[in-house]
Amino acid sequence: MAVSVCFDDLINIPNNRKCADCNTQLIFDKSQLDNPWASMNICVFVCTNCCGVHRSMGVHISQMKSCKYDVDVFNEEVIQKFLERGNLNVNNEFESYMPVFHIHLREAPLSTKLREWFIPAKYSSKIFTEEKLIYKEMPQPVMHQKFVWLNRGFADVDESSKKKKKEVVPSTPRSGSTTGKTIWVEFSQHFINFYKNVSDARAFDIIRNIGDLHSTDGIIIEQYNNGISLTVGNYVLYHDDLNVLIEWCHALRAAALYYATLETPQLSPDTRLQVNIMEGTNLGYAKKQPGGQKMFSAFKRWDNRLWIVGEDDVLYYFKKPNEGQTDLNPQGAVPLQNAEIIVPVKERTTSPNCLQICTPERGYVIQLPGKEAVNRFKEHIDNIVRRLHPHQIVNFSTENLSSVAL
């Protein structure tokens, strides 16, 4: 004898009493105006806000009915189908391969832009059902982006000492117009550099180990206007393009977990006070952007230097030596243990044949005499960096990371 089922059997299931997408509490009360809603073909219950996005996808994706006005459509066959599927089972299906670093709508349930991005991605594109999403190559490529810094208090930087005079005080973003300072943020390996201007050689602040942010929930998203803001440590960042914020949030969260659990950032080795240039690899001459921000912006001067990679995996640069001179005092040193080499973004420099070496606190922009020299220089540094930090494919399905070397 079949057991009779009714609509109350559905709404008494705890997971069905929260929106399947944004996790908002659903109140199945006839006094509620048009709330909640049900997707008849997907078999989930959602709130009014999420219902609007479901409708916009079209009935071939989601067929919406009101739980207040269309309750008569819930016959015994439909109810049985909802009992078999429902919010929990459907989410397990449509979010089966969502990596642990991924943004979810429930983090900012009132963000219209995030809702309009997340729900179609979930049900129409079905990106979270693709196993490849949980795998990510680490370390990730260098990222460089201009953001609006929404913090109420800004660091007062003494240009001569390069030390902050007061702490940065984060603020709660307010609705309305976007206000704040424009800064450039550079993310590489385990560190994040913050620059006042894109052409600055030295960062005014740095997060040295992004892994420290994982245990403190230091990378979060919040509603800002109709979109979201991204909080990274003490910095609340905003960008008009939602996809930029999503890309950065995913990259930073993945790196935070990676460097907190699977890979430990290594200290840079001590550099030499004197180097025999005959014992290292000679990469030839290249012009270097001076390290002083004011000097570079005022005179746009480039210093021609000889570049030598030592056996200690440190890139040294020197003034032109005298004839026969081999033991030199370097003008500076770039430990490659915590470095990446890239082609600089177009906003960084308009000069041709340039490369940028990204390190904690400083970005070295150098100009080489031609494309062949650029390729040789970059290939050599890349090979050293990859030897020191081999790429690997990491499984981000859970916080217990596993990896396979490439």
* Total count of domains within the chain: 3
Q: Which helix (H) or strand (E) holds 203?
A: none
pLDDT for residue 3: 52
**Same domain as 171, residue 257:** yes
**Same domain as 260, residue 280:** no
Locus of tokens 């260098």: 142
Distance separating alpha carbons of residues 225 and 238, to the nearest angstrom: 10
Question: Is 107 part of any domain?
Answer: no
Task: CATH number of the domain at 367, please.
Answer: 2.30.29.30
Q: Which helix (H) or strand (E) holds 389?
A: none
Whether residue 7 contacts residue 86, with contact meaning beta carbons closer than 8 Å, is answered with no
Angle at 153 between CA 152 and CA 155, to 5 degrees: 145
Residues in the chain: 406
**Same domain as 310, residue 210:** no
Burial of 11 (0-12, 13-18, 19+ CB in 10 A): middle
Whether residue 232 contacts residue 207, with contact meaning beta carbons closer than 8 Å, is answered with yes
Report the candidate in 36, 38, 62 with the shortest Cα–Cα distance to residue 123. 62
* Token pair listed for 185: 């943020």
Distance separating alpha carbons of residues 27 and 186, to the nearest angstrom: 45
pLDDT for residue 401: 93
Q: With a cut of 70, list the residues of the chain below it in pLDDT.
A: 1-4, 31-34, 152-179, 292-300, 406
pLDDT digits 0-9 by tens, 88-130: 999 999 999 999 999 999 999 999 999 999 999 999 999 999 9
Domain hosting 180: range is 132-265+399-405
Amino acid identity at 185: V
Whether residue 406 contacts residue 393, with contact meaning beta carbons closer than 8 Å, is answered with yes
Question: Is 105 part of any domain?
Answer: no
**Same domain as 151, residue 69:** no
HSE-up of 135 (CA within 13 Å, CB side)?
10
Q: Among residues 94, 117, 140, which one ends one of the domains?
A: 94
Q: Please enumerate in sequence order all residues whose Cβ is within 8 A of that of 277, keeping only pairs 6 or more positions apart, or say none.
A: 306, 308, 318, 321, 326, 327, 328
SS3 295: helix
pLDDT for residue 32: 62
Question: Is 186 part of any domain?
Answer: yes
Question: Is 371 part of any domain?
Answer: yes
Distance separating alpha carbons of residues 233 and 235, to the nearest angstrom: 6
**Same domain as 189, residue 308:** no
Q: Among residues 77, 94, 111, which one ends one of the domains?
A: 94
**Same domain as 220, residue 137:** yes
pLDDT digits 0-9 by tens, 290-310: 775 443 444 467 899 999 999
Q: DSSP string covering 5-35, please?
A: --HHHHHTSGGGGB-TTT-PBP---TTSTT-
Q: Among residues 66, 94, 122, which one ends one of the domains?
A: 94
Question: Is 104 part of any domain?
Answer: no
